[in-house]
Amino acid sequence: MNTQYELLTLFADGGRMMYPLVICSLIGLGVIIAKFWTLWVAGRDSAAVIRSVEEAAGEGDLDEAAAIASATRGPAAAILLAGIRRIKTASVNEGEVEQVVSTTGSIELSFLERGLVVLATIANVAPLMGFLGTVAGMILAFDSIAQAGDVDPATVAGGIKVALLTTAAGLTIAIPINIGYNIFVSKIDSLIVDMEESTQKVISMAWDLERDGKLQVS
């Protein structure tokens, strides 16, 4: 209870700029939780589904390969599924398979990057809000000096406290969000590698099936 009281006191002493900073922190926390879950689901079965689909397609069973990809969540599985469906209806030489997997990859990448702009914005804006609070606090401090006509530490302490609290709050919000942003970018880069591998597997699969006479275009 004492800690909670101290936090509420610090929030109140920070002035009005603490409200948008708290809103930024809540939005950032929500995006981080959602993004962590999304990227974990997207990447947990990538290697396994690529291997399973390749084995099923190598035996000429495209229906089984499509079923495996359809039952797995993630961008790699989505690319494999789109490519397999196109393999069954289009000739490899017409370039439709490459076009489909490329389009699917772009859509999946857009989904993976969703929310990153919010984190980047908060990471940039939160310190600026803190500095704005710093300026406001210093204005209050100098205004107190002007009204008192004397430089008294007790007179300017309130304004300086506002300045320090808002700066600290802005940096406290921005640092973990910036770390989370970089972690997510690194994870997305890893998923892009999986997506590129899926694309190559689909194209190689199509050429191999057509070469072996197992590809029946309908």
What is the SS3 string spanning 28-63?
HHHHHHHHHHHHHHHHCCHHHHHHHHHHHHHCCCHH
Overall pTM > 0.85: no
Residue 186 within a domain: yes
- In the chain, the percentage of residues whose pLDDT exceeds 70 is 76
Residue 216 within a domain: no
Predicted local confidence at residue 120, as pLDDT: 94
What's 72's DSSP letter?
S
Domain span holding position 156: 2-210
pLDDT exceeds 90 at position 30: yes
**pLDDT tens readout for residues 56-85:** 877 777 788 888 888 888 888 888 888 877
Helix ranges (H only) for the chain are 2-13, 18-43, 46-58, 62-70, 75-87, 96-112, 116-148, 153-211
Query: Domains in the chain: how many in total?
Result: 1
Residue 89 within a domain: yes
Residue 218 within a domain: no
Residue 217 within a domain: no
pLDDT exceeds 60 at position 52: yes
pLDDT exceeds 70 at position 148: no
Residue 215 within a domain: no
